[in-house]
Amino acid sequence: MKVAVVVPCYNEAGRLDVDALTRYLTRHPRVDLLFVDDGSTDATWELLQQLVAAAPQHAAAMRLLRNAGKAEAVRKGMLELISRDAEVVGFWDADLATPLSNLPLFLDVLEENPGIEWVIGSRVRLLGRRVERRAVRHYFGRAFATVASLALAMPVYDTQCGAKLFRVTPGLERILSLPFTSRWIFDVEMMRRLSLLDGFDCRRPSDVIYELPLVEWHDVKNSRVRPTDFPRALLELIRIRFGDQRMPAANPALVRSETVIMS
């Protein structure tokens, strides 16, 4: 399969692990990475140019001239990858809280299970796994995940892990065809859109989504997730659940935005 993953970046100059990313790109040619600079105001774009120069066959960079939020950076990045004929696309947080060593396990699920279309990382602290999460972040996360699961009517354990892969299908293209209403919990909005797709082969989202417990995950210093984000996320969840989520009837035309620079 042709696999390509979006890495959204916003003011990551102080956190981007250039060495780890370069090592991965040079040692694991199976997966291409598309770094999307979401209108950064620091030296992020220059660092991304270095990454692309180090592995030009397997890395590319895309720059949004204005900050649009992680949701839009991921959406535009995945549409770009689909236009390049990727068969599997996804996104991975730039801080590498989920190490890239987990990525082959995601691909194994898709290769061994043709009926599975989405593989989403799940931060479950189990014996034999290295999942380290601060207590306050864990409990706020569990509370939100419980509410999200009820709102979606879907037994999902972890909606917000920043590591997800998707098999490219007409349904995924439709889900990505419209900008997300949420800047914070677009992962939930994607699941909601999936449940609203018409003609979805009479399958439930739970039949095509696979939650994969991560082997390793760790909190990264200077995380941008704050306890004060919890009420904001709940408000966005209400809008997602009860707002107008009608999907377009046809697949979108994958046209690159005029506000994008590629390298």
CATH number at residue 71: 3.90.550.10
Q: Is the pLDDT of residue 250 over 70?
A: no
Specify the pTM.
Answer: 0.88
What's the whole-number mean pLDDT along residues 51-75?
Answer: 95
- What average pLDDT does range 61-80 have in this prediction? 96
Average pLDDT over residues 72-79: 97
Kindly report the number of other CB atoms within 10 A of residue 201's CB atom.
9
On average, the pLDDT of the chain sits at 87
Model pLDDT, residue 199? 56
If you average pLDDT over residues 206-219, what whole number do you get?
92
Domain count of the fold of the chain? 1
pLDDT in tens, 34-59: 999 999 999 999 999 999 999 999 99
The model's pLDDT over 182-206, given as tens digits with 9 standing for 90+, comes to 887 999 999 999 988 865 555 678 7
Residue 258 has pLDDT above 80, yes or no: no
Q: How confident is the model at residue 263 (pLDDT cuts 50, 70, 90)?
A: low
Could you tell me the residue range of the domain that residue 200 belongs to?
3-262
Q: Which has the minimum average pLDDT: 41-55, 100-114, 139-153?
A: 139-153
Looking at the chain, the whole-number percentage of residues with pLDDT higher than 70 is: 87
Provide the pLDDT for residue 96.
Answer: 93
